[in-house]
Amino acid sequence: MKHPYLTNDHEIFRRSLRKFLEKEAYPFYDQWEEERMIPRSFWEKMGEQGYLCPDIDEEYGGSEVDWGFAVVINEELERVGSGLVGVGLHNDIVVPYITAYGTDEQKKRWLPKCTTGEIITAIAMTEPGTGSDLANIQTTAILDGDHYILNGQKTFITNGIQSDLIVVACKTDPKANPKHKGVSLLVVERDTPGFSRGRKLNKVGLHCQDTAELIFEDCRVPKENLLGEEGKGFLYLMEKLQQERLLVAIAAQTASEVMLKQTIEYVKSREAFGKPVSKFQNTQFKIVEMATEIEMGRAFLDQLIAEHIEGKDVVTKVSMAKWKLTDSARKIAAECMQLHGGYGYMEEYEIARRFRDIPVASIYAGTNEIMKTIIAKNLGL
């Protein structure tokens, strides 16, 4: 059967990327976890090989390839480890805001360096007191002559420490009614006066992924750094959050596939009561249940990705995929750890890391409860 979106070119690309990661990522991943950081040199190597922002226009350093290549990149990075999520965020979440809403001048200024790894990007939505309720963000940006004066705090920001360019959701009209019409997007550059970084956050999992607090105190942002139009930031966020949620679903599905494969290998090699653990009926039933769940998830996800690439309205299905596949991955992580027995709780076995890393997928990019609310609304409930 013909694959919904992958071609032979995608598979050749996958083999090349996997070979690159086997040399530049797999051998160092445990070290990155211990150091709580992915080195910039890895980003630069990704850029050299064309693995950063490959879908953008050639004039800005991209290859103008279809989004199927982005899917391959995100799957292969997840196979290495969930801590590489920041690369996907850069490629397929933040940079698309610039390509979609940026001016020609902004694109020429920022995009070429985004493709080389010289610029690492982040997006700052969440605040200490505001998570999924983006219309109620408190960060303000008031125009003063040629600059916006930005004040506020952001937290849980992926790539927060290393980022050179941050798309910040803020209120340019704090008195707007309804509130969401006061939201705009400003691009803040690394050395902007009044911008500082708070704590590098110590997370349960995703240890090598730098997550931080960002602080803006009378931060003077040139008005030329407004992304799109004033007051349309909330609309832009809603448009782009769908691809972000799809990326989370892709990562969760890939993680589930990796965990099952590793667990099957383990139960075949581990013996108990004189025979491999894989020969016990309980083990077989657990493996079969997970394999079936994963196979059905993959079928739904692949068709959904194909529809997204075609430009179809997939808001409801993306919300379904995001909550279901992340919820499934969390359960699979627990089952796989159980089948590893005591060794599953040891750090030298990858399932321990996967068990730590996967739960946050049901929280970020909009909690699974928010996903169910969206689905219910779109079903007319």
Q: Which helix (H) or strand (E) holds 150?
A: strand 147-158
pLDDT tens for each residue of 283-312: 999 999 999 999 999 999 999 999 999 999
Which residues are designated catalytic? 244
Q: Taking the CB of residue 170, how many other CB atoms lie within 10 A of it?
A: 27
Query: Among 62-71, 129-138, 196-205, 357-366, where is mean pLDDT lowest?
Result: 129-138
pLDDT tens for each residue of 236-287: 999 898 999 999 999 999 999 999 999 999 999 999 999 999 999 999 999 9
Complete DSSP assignment for 368-381: HHHHHHHHHHHTT-
Asked whether 29 and 78 are in contact (CB, 8 A), the reply is no
Chain centroid to CA 163: 15
Mean pLDDT (the chain, rounded): 95
β-bridge partners, 188:
166
Residue 119 predicted with pLDDT over 90: yes
Helices (H), the chain: 8-24, 29-35, 40-48, 68-80, 85-89, 95-101, 104-116, 233-269, 281-309, 315-339, 350-357, 368-378
pLDDT tens for each residue of 216-232: 999 999 999 999 999 99
Residue 134 predicted with pLDDT over 90: no
pTM of the model: 0.94
With CA atoms as reference, report the closest residue to 26 among 373, 356, 350: 350
DSSP state of 277: G
Asked whether 216 and 151 are in contact (CB, 8 A), the reply is yes
